[in-house]
Amino acid sequence: MSVLNRKLLRDAMHAWGLLATISAIMALGIMCFIYMRSSYFNLLLAQNQYYAQGRMADFWVDLKKAPRGEFLELLDIPGVTEIQPRIQFAATVDLENVRKPLNGLVISLPDRRREIINDIVLRRGSYFTEERHNQVVVNDAFARARDIHPGDTVHLLLNNRRQELVVVGTAISCEFVYLLPPGGLAPDPQHFGVFYLKESFAEEVFDFDGAANQAVGRLAVQWRDQPDALLADIERTLEPHGVTNVTALKNQPSNRFISDEIQGLGTFSTIMPAIFLTVGALVLNVLMMRLVDQQRVVIGTLKALGYGNVEIFAHFLKLGLIVGLIGAGLGEVLGYFMATWVTAIYRRFYEFPALENYVYPGVYLTGFAISFTCALVGCVTGCRRAVKLRPADAMRTATPAKGGAIWLERIRWLWRQLSFGWRMALRGLFRNRRRTAVGLFSSMTGAALLMSGLMMMQAARYLIDFQYDYILRSDIDLTFKNEVGREALLEARHLPGVDHAEPLLAVSCTFIHGPYQRKGNVLGLQPQARLTVPRDIDGVALRVPETGLMMSRKLAELLHAEPGDLITMRPTRGLQKAVRVPLLKVSEEFLGMSVYADITYLSRLISEEFAVSGVQLEVTPEPDIQTAFYRELKRLPVVQAVNAREDVIHNLEETVLKVQDTFIGLLILFAGVIFFGSVLNASLINLAERRREVATLRVLGYTERQIGGFFLRESAVVNLCGTLLGLPLGYFLAYLVSVSYDTEMFRFPVVSPPFVWVVTVVTGVGFGLLAHLVVERQIRRMNWLEALQVKE
Amino acid sequence: MSEGLPASAASTFTDKPAVLSLRGVGKTFQMGEVAVEVLRDITLDIRDGEFLVMVGPSGSGKSTILNILGGMDQPTVGQVAYLDQDLTTASNAELNQYRREGVGFVFQFYNLVPTLTAFENVLVSTEIARDPLDVDDVLGKVGLADRKHHFPSQLSGGEQQRVAIARALAKNPRLLLCDEPTGALDFETGKKVLRLLVDVNREMGKTVLVITHNVAIAAVADRVVHLRSGEIVQLEENDTPVPPEEVVW
């Protein structure tokens, strides 16, 4: 090894603490890059392979009922290459060892295995056999959650009859990679499953001989990205059969969730590393400038000895290479483990045949390249300073730092109030502008990162609270198969333990306003309903108007409608008679796009006197009575789905929120590294530059604590100001996320309770103080007698 | 000692070729709005193999001359030549080459790299030299063979200066430029260092230029240049140089 390289290694070891903190910041950036990019490719690869393997549909059409032959007419539309009619119904599941009725989705599959669209992948057991007609294949997650195995029997309420089904296998399907229960936010395998029945059996139990109520289809390649026009054609063709929904792949909930996640990973794999690497490069820059200043005589000597600019430049650049190497090496190893861990978390939510973490050489090489580039960029100014240093100047003692008054001193009355320590700290800050600026930027970034992360966490909690505490307040929601009369409500009121019951009428409609149209549901509520309470943006309850509609903000925006406008509403069932109704109020909601109306008014709009499609219940919490209540419920044939609020909330807490909390914990740690690293660097450099000053103060009788206080003042001002600047920036970032997630499925509220601000500031200050402890230790360990004698 | 003539006066080394020659060299520093002239019309030849001492008080321009002679700084006016090479018009790369091969520097405060051992500090200069001497030999010559693995902080001032001299010597330059080589040392150690420089001059045939404010040191030189306020005020020949051991200050 050349002697200069030996010097370099020793220099690096000498400054190991500083280099380690910078490398740690860089490593975090590279770790984020590696794990996000790897997860991105892991998911993308799994998705592409699975969609190809399972022959994922390009569209879904739901309607009331149509002969199979009618569906096949869609093949006449140029661009539609394949169509596959099937039967799909919601059903309640009665498991013997489970008190509550559970929800299920029943889908028909060909009796004999053949290549189909949305083909299943068997996990356990087998496909249907000739043996029995009541065979069922259960989706694997539900089977796992409820300990169901091939050979077991399950009972489903199908078309008002309790049917015993024999489980032959468990399977996953590409259309349910992220299996959401109706209206849910997260997969809930404890309470929702998919049940694949033999086509012949489904036709028999649902009285659908030769008919279907759903079709899945595939499009020619050129239509896949722009299917809207074709889907409109498809809807027109099947309109006489009462089309309730046409869903393109891009809007299919499972696909939408995964694709959004993949896209999010793609975006964040650029943003997050950029944040860490920028901070890392800036802090490195400050360190390099200091190092070059500190070594000016050495540089001068080397030049006097005949070392050229290229050699000097390369020498200091190598220090950047060391940081880059450590950052990349550490970051890549951490990134690999993080990617493995994150991919395992994804496996909990996404049901793929295989979702593994792979090592993508391109990603890892890019990680190395990015790390090196950033480290080198961070070094370049320092190296240039070393090159520019003329040997003769380098030998001369450096000109003393500028010692003039700072602008703050012109505000005399303020300056006079300040103690000696504060004056020294402020002068230091203003004289080392670059270092101060980098410190401010680092703390600001750390705070912004933390603030936005905490706000997003709060947003998810707020969203759940808003939805399940403010808007939906019932304990149990029952959904009926069809619209029924008032008697169903009365029956529900007489179920054991029911304290209060309110009727609901959901009518799926097409809303049209000028050139804009959207499909959705109108929810009919009784006057002064207290189990579904629409709210405005501030959470204030809104009364449903006696006539006209109240619409969620998102839908109103999509329709370009405002209160006072007339909306054309065409129900997709019944007579499908279009009516023009006024939009009277706009409500706020973060899940879906609800429209509310008075139940009597809505009944009349669909030409009924009083129709009910579900009821909401308040049920006594007494366990024995609840058991009786559920026992009765399992016997009610009219019920299609049962949703218990506490299950939904519990599931969200156990899944989405728990994972989110883990990530927030990591985020706090990451932000902490930035705070800690930047404060430590600035302070230690400051200390190194002012060794003689510290020694002089010691001679004058200042204690270590008092001297530490001078340094603390400087770092605290930078740290606190940076953190405070980061708060609005973090708020703005969270706002940007909320704007970019403003979809039809869900929206992220922008919420910032005091907790968020306090935690951000406390974390910033806390990690800053932690770094200061290291500085204090350095002050205590400093040999100040030696420092006094050192020739500067 | 005889009263010398200014500038290009005759000397015992006149038959030797000039290693370095300065012609009408001046240097002005711009300090803010004030121009400070630190060297004025310096004309001097440094002959091959001579031991030249340049004395003058602080601010007389000694270090500036040394920097110019060492290719570390350029004069504002005048010409400097190393053998046939004009250093005033040389590019940075050429100056670098000159520093690398032509001259060796010895500094008042030694300027050793603190993170390298004595041996490695010498290695720093041999690694880039074209025709270096053996590092062990050189360290032996300066009497540090048994201290070669010590870091500067573990060496005394005299030892550090000897490492610095070894470092300057090891690349086998024609010329040694020494800036107050005894300035930071005590009397006895200073004399030992001076002895070493004399030996380097006498035994190895290197041209040695020492700049100092210490007039007593001039006694060991072949020629002495007196500087004051940026000008050569006197140039004296010394036909009977005194051994360093006899010098007193």
DSSP A534-571: -B-TT--B-PPPSSSEEEEHHHHHHTT--TT-EEEEEE
Q: Nearest C-alpha of chain A: how many angstroms from B115?
A: 6
Q: Collapsing DSSP states into helix, strand and coil, what is residue B215?
A: helix
pLDDT, average across residues A128-146: 94
* The pLDDT of residue B5: 37
Domains of chain B plus CATH, in order, are 18-102+174-246 (3.40.50.300)
Q: Is the pLDDT of residue B33 over 90?
A: no
Instruction: Tell me the C-alpha distance between A766 and A773, whole Å.
Output: 11
- The winner for highest mean pLDDT among A350-354, A456-460, B105-109 is A350-354
| Subunit contact A791:B115, Cβ cutoff 8 A | no
* The pLDDT of residue A424: 80
Can you give the residue ranges of every domain in chain A? 1-56+257-399, 57-256, 432-471+646-792, 498-619
Nearest to B67 among A3, A302, A392 (CB): A392
Q: How far is CA A577 from CA A510, A524, A777, in A?
A: 11, 18, 81
Tokens of A224: 């896949």
* The pLDDT of residue A574: 64
* The pLDDT of residue A396: 67
Among A622-626, A765-769, A779-783, B212-216, the range scoring the smallest mean pLDDT is A779-783
- The winner for highest mean pLDDT among A233-242, A380-389, A723-732, B164-173 is A723-732
Instruction: Tell me the C-alpha distance between A516 and B75, whole Å.
Output: 81
- Best mutation target among A9, A13, A305, A311 (most B Cβ atoms within 10 Å) is A305
DSSP secondary structure letter of residue B151: -
Instruction: Tell me the C-alpha distance between A713 and A429, whole Å.
Output: 10
Instruction: Tell me the C-alpha distance between A538 and A285, whole Å.
Output: 47
- Best mutation target among B122, B124, B126 (most A Cβ atoms within 10 Å) is B124
| Subunit contact A305:B99, Cβ cutoff 8 A | yes
Nearest to A307 among B63, B120, B128 (CB): B128
Decide: B57 and B228 in contact? Cβ < 8 Å.
yes
Instruction: Tell me the C-alpha distance between B23 and B69, whole Å.
Output: 12
* The pLDDT of residue A760: 94
Strands (E), A620-707: 639-644
B121 to chain A: closest CA residue: A3
Decide: A315 and A4 in contact? Cβ < 8 Å.
yes
* Mean pLDDT rounded to a whole number for chain B: 87
B39-51 burial: b if 16+ Cβ within 10 Å, else e: bbebebbbbbbbb
Would the ipTM clear 0.95, i.e. be above it? no
* Strand duo A579-587 + A549-552: pairing: parallel
| Subunit contact A306:B109, Cβ cutoff 8 A | no
What residues of A are in contact with residue B167 (Cβ under 8 Å)?
305
User: What's the N-to-C CA distance of chain B in angstroms?
Assistant: 18
Percentage of chain B surpassing pLDDT 70? 94
Tokens of A569: 């509403």
Instruction: Tell me the C-alpha distance between A104 and A193, whole Å.
Output: 5
State which amino acid sits at residue A731. Answer: Y
Q: Collapsing DSSP states into helix, strand and coil, what is residue A81?
A: strand
Decide: A120 and A109 in contact? Cβ < 8 Å.
yes
Calculate the CA dihedral of residues A702, A706, A707, A708 and round it to 10 degrees. Answer: 150
pLDDT, average across residues B216-245: 92
Percentage of chain A surpassing pLDDT 70? 98
* The pLDDT of residue B12: 60
* Mean pLDDT rounded to a whole number for chain A: 89
Q: Is the pLDDT of residue A573 over 70?
A: no
Among A226-235, B67-76, B141-150, B181-190, the range scoring the smallest mean pLDDT is B181-190
Q: Which of A478, A679, A464 is closest to A590 using CA atoms?
A: A464
What residues of A are in contact with residue B127 (Cβ under 8 Å)?
2-4
What residues of B are in contact with residue A2 (Cβ under 8 Å)?
127
Q: Does residue A744 or residue A206 have the better pLDDT?
A: A206
Among A16-30, A147-161, A358-372, A391-405, the range scoring the smallest mean pLDDT is A391-405
Decide: A299 and A292 in contact? Cβ < 8 Å.
yes
What is the pLDDT confidence band of residue A788, given thresholds at 50, 70 and 90? low
* The pLDDT of residue B4: 37
Q: How far is CA A180 from CA A176, A245, A785, in A?
A: 8, 17, 70
Instruction: Tell me the C-alpha distance between A467 and A526, whole Å.
Output: 19
Q: Which of A769, A782, A787 is closest to A680 using CA atoms?
A: A769
Decide: A364 and A34 in contact? Cβ < 8 Å.
yes
A394 to chain B: closest CA residue: B72
Q: Is the pLDDT of residue A354 over 80?
A: yes
HSE, side-chain direction, 13 A CA sphere, residue A318: 15
Q: Nearest C-alpha of chain A: how many angstroms from B31?
A: 12
CB-CB neighbours of A108 under 10 Å = 23
Q: Nearest C-alpha of chain B: how many angstroms from A397?
A: 12
B130 to chain A: closest CA residue: A306
| Subunit contact A303:B111, Cβ cutoff 8 A | no
* The pLDDT of residue A785: 67
What is the pLDDT confidence band of residue A391, given thresholds at 50, 70 and 90? confident
* The pLDDT of residue A412: 83
pLDDT, average across residues A697-721: 86
Q: Which of A261, A255, A263, A348 is closest to A51 using CA atoms?
A: A255
Nearest to B120 among A3, A308, A309 (CB): A3
Q: What is the pLDDT of residues A187-202, one digit of tens each?
A: 999 999 999 999 999 9
Nearest to A3 among B70, B127, B129 (CB): B127
DSSP secondary structure letter of residue A58: S
pLDDT, average across residues A703-707: 84
What residues of B are in contact with residue A6 (Cβ under 8 Å)?
116, 120
| Subunit contact A307:B96, Cβ cutoff 8 A | yes
The residues of B whose Cβ lies within 8 A of any Cβ of A are 63-64, 67, 70, 72-73, 92-93, 96-101, 105, 107, 109, 111-116, 120, 123-125, 127-129, 167, 171
Q: Is the pLDDT of residue A144 over 80?
A: yes
Output the CA torsion sign for B34, B38, B43, B47. Answer: negative
| Subunit contact A3:B109, Cβ cutoff 8 A | no
Q: Nearest C-alpha of chain B: how many angstroms from A388?
A: 12
- Best mutation target among A10, A393, A395 (most B Cβ atoms within 10 Å) is A395
Q: Is the pLDDT of residue B11 over 60?
A: no
Q: Is the pLDDT of residue B107 over 90?
A: no
B170 to chain A: closest CA residue: A305
What residues of B are in contact with residue A4 (Cβ under 8 Å)?
124, 127
pLDDT, average across residues A503-514: 91
pLDDT, average across residues A18-37: 93
What is the pLDDT confidence band of residue A789, given thresholds at 50, 70 and 90? low
What residues of A are in contact with residue B171 (Cβ under 8 Å)?
305-306
A4 to chain B: closest CA residue: B124
Q: Is residue A553 packed enough to be buried (19+ CB in 10 Å), middle (13-18) or exposed (0-12)? A: middle
Among A2-16, B40-54, B218-232, the range scoring the smallest mean pLDDT is A2-16
Q: What is the pLDDT of residues A38-71, one digit of tens each?
A: 999 999 999 999 999 999 999 999 998 999 999 9
| Subunit contact A3:B96, Cβ cutoff 8 A | no
Nearest to A304 among B105, B109, B129 (CB): B105
Q: What is the pLDDT of residues A269-301, one digit of tens each?
A: 998 899 999 999 998 998 898 888 888 888 988
What is the pLDDT confidence band of residue A404, given thresholds at 50, 70 and 90? low
